[in-house]
Amino acid sequence: MFDIESGQPVPRADALPRGAERHGETFTGELPRSVVESDSGAHASLDGLFGDLTTTRARRDRAAASEGQAAVAAGTAPPARLGTVPSTDGDPRHAHLTEEYGRLGDEQLICGVHVHADVPDRDTAVRAVCVVAPCLPVLPALSASSPYWPGADTGHASRRTVVRQRRPTAGPPGCFAGAQEYDRVVDELVGSGVIGDPGMICDDLRPPDHLPTVEMRVCDASPHAETVAMTAEFHRALVADALDRTETGKAGCGGNHAWLSAATWRAARSGPEGDPVDPLTRRPVPAPDAVRGTLRRLRPALEAHGDHRPSDRGGTHAKTRPSAPARHRIRLPRKPSGAVRRPGGGGVPCVV
């Protein structure tokens, strides 16, 4: 959340719920007091999800404007200065992060998109995580929207990815035989004091402790609802494909995920215009080729949900449409001045 006049993040995100109540929406706070979270409903169709996202964003923008603020959907806050936004009070998890992580806690001025795909149970979720994980590096390249940190161009398409991987429980997930083995490892981490509860596991992909889903956490927040819907579609197809491979004994994952950290970093550095690591060949390829190659493998899962035609645009989207980092760099100088500009046509406000 930004002040409309100064263009700086403001620690007044707690005011948004008061404004949102007048517009039929609710939001919750995050660790930095300038960040808010909103949840969509559960949807079987992409059209339903896209409609939910656009409606929620419109209500959020109206609620923010009523408080003299502007909402910016991006992986990082372009003009932010670290240490200037206090953490949210009253949340034990936030208190743990602030006390234990020091400067790393200040750096959590980042925003992401988390997508849940429904599965029958947690045992299934744990096994699916291992199969889905090798395909994840395609997603930060597709969704990158955070080239600035803090207030300067980092050369990365997704600086948020680099920042979040510095947390002690972030990064590629491990492989486990089932929920009992996974939960034992999580209990050990909680017992070590490094994290305060299971919800602080920040793997790029995880089985949540409170839902029978596979949760993907690797994508930047995006200024375009279409991009969010596309990454959700991608994730659902990956999970559906993993379930099929697990049931038929064709999972094909040897548990070696050591290369994923490097591949994820490459995707964050490259973005849609660069050469991320192809999940099948583990060699650098143009982003559109990596997307199309993965989509070809996922075609049966996509068609099973009636999603193939929308996703078929994924490769051309990565090739022909300027990416969020490219648009940031076109519109912003090397060091953003701080004023909030409201584009026409109902777009998300940006900082210039």
CB 179 within 8 A of CB 294: no
Residues of the chain with pLDDT under 70: 12-32, 78-91, 94, 96, 252-255, 307-352
Q: Hey, CA dihedral for 18, 21, 22, 25, is it positive or negative?
A: positive
Nearest in space to 227 (alpha carbons), one of 329, 317, 104, 116 = 317
pTM of the model: 0.83
In terms of DSSP bridges, do strands 28-29 and 36-37 run parallel, antiparallel, or are they unpaired? antiparallel
Burial category of 331 from C-beta neighbours within 10 Å (exposed 0-12, middle 13-18, buried 19 and up): middle
Residue 272 half-sphere exposure, CB side, CA atoms within 13 Å? 23
C-alpha dist (Å) from residue 351 to 8, 39, 138, 310? 9, 24, 27, 30
Residue 85's pLDDT is 54
**Residue 114 lies in domain:** 2-351
Nearest in space to 36 (alpha carbons), one of 18, 13, 53 = 13
DSSP assignment, residue 136?
Answer: T
Residue 254's pLDDT is 64
CA–CA distance, 16 with 3 (Å, rounded to integer): 12
Q: Which helix (DSSP H) or strand (DSSP E) does residue 28 occupy?
A: strand 28-29
Residues paired with residue 341 on neighbouring β-strands, in sequence order: 350
Query: Looking at residue 278, which CATH number applies to its domain?
Result: 3.30.590.20
3-class state of residue 206 by DSSP: strand
3-class state of residue 351 by DSSP: strand
Structure tokens at 83: 């240490």
CA–CA distance, 250 with 247 (Å, rounded to integer): 8
Q: Domains in the chain: how many in total?
A: 1
Residue 200's pLDDT is 86
Residues paired with residue 205 on neighbouring β-strands, in sequence order: 216
Share in percent of the chain as helix, strand, coil (round to 5): 45, 10, 40
The per-residue b/e assignment along 270-305, b for 16 or more CB within 10 angstroms, e otherwise, is bbbbbbbbbbeeeeebbbbebbbbbbeebeebbeee
Cα angle for residues 206, 109, 70 (degrees, 5° grid): 115
Nearest in space to 161 (alpha carbons), one of 93, 105, 113 = 113
Counts for the chain of helices (H) and strands (E), in that order: 14, 11
